[in-house]
Amino acid sequence: MNAPETRRALVASPTPAARAAEERLRANYDFVDPADADLIVALGGDGFMLQTLHTLLETRRHRIPVFGMNLGTVGFLMNEWRLERLDQRIQAAKAFKVNPLRMDVTTIDGEDISLPAINEVSLLRETRQTAKIEVMVNDRAALPELVCDGVLVATPAGSTAYNLSAHGPILPLGSGLIALTPISPFRPRRWRGAILPEKTRIRFRVLDAQKRPVSAVADHREVRDVNCVEVAVDRASPLTLLFDPEHTLDDRIAAEQFIA
């Protein structure tokens, strides 16, 4: 008895290049509605890939794999755009599991908000004054007072994004690690961050939150005027990205360490 055929859905960013590629693919292959799909083909850049993955998380369909093709700028999370041999590429693709972060926030008004993050959770000062943040690691006060522009927690998949720009470490995919990286730290002057096991719980408490307000951002979603932020890896919601065997995500992450 033959295995059932994989039902593919096609989604594209609103850019002209992605829309043109979508038209060409639909003319050559069959696709179903995303709600009925076993697999998603995403056309766009890294931002659109993150948007697609967040949609899967929000609709509780995070176990559906995504094969992206780059019609954006960087395309770190994407494969090369090609019209030909789509079925064969998907069949030969290598799967990578990505565990997102979960950000649980309490604002200074007492509102509780929970959001996922695939790349990073970042805390950022809202005014010209530096932020003062207490950093708790597994209920231990690792830094009683971090004076900075901000601080972030990054996954391996996100370690080459904002984290790298903030001089954080590049983490190999599957390393079971997360990066804790300060953004323009003023005090302690010599602290450059930490590499922690992914089972670590990190809690940030904003000191003097009224005078020195801080926002918390999960990838692209911002919560302003936060009081406390807890960040942990969400192992219950793994995401699956598919990559061509000759250019996989772990290869890209490794290669980034040798770029001058």
All residues at 6 or more sequence positions from 210 whose CB lies less than 8 Å from its CB, including other chains: 108
Binding residue per annotation — 162?
Answer: yes
Distance CA(181)–CA(193), nearest Å, equals: 4
Binding residue per annotation — 120?
Answer: yes
User: Pick the catalytic residue: 36, 46, 112, 250?
Assistant: 46
Binding residue per annotation — 164?
Answer: yes
Binding residue per annotation — 3?
Answer: no
**Paired residues of 188 in beta bridges:** none
Binding residue per annotation — 119?
Answer: yes
Whether 104 contacts 114, CB under 8 Å: yes
Distance CA(160)–CA(77), nearest Å, equals: 11
C-alpha 49 chain-centroid distance: 10
Sign of CA dihedral 57, 63, 64, 70: positive
CB atoms inside a 10 Å sphere around CB 129: 11
Binding residue per annotation — 2?
Answer: no
Distance CA(183)–CA(102), nearest Å, equals: 20
Binding residue per annotation — 174?
Answer: no
Binding residue per annotation — 130?
Answer: no
Binding residue per annotation — 160?
Answer: yes
Q: Annotated catalytic, 46?
A: yes
- Which helix (H) or strand (E) segment holds residue 19: the answer is helix 16-28
C-alpha 41 chain-centroid distance: 18
Binding residue per annotation — 70?
Answer: no
All residues at 6 or more sequence positions from 123 whose CB lies less than 8 Å from its CB, including other chains: 131, 133, 150, 151, 152, 204, 206, 214, 215, 216, 217, 226, 229
For the annotated binding site, the residues are 46-47, 119-120, 149, 157, 160-165
- Write out the binding residues for NAD(+): 46-47, 119-120, 149, 157, 160-165
Active centre residues (catalytic): 46
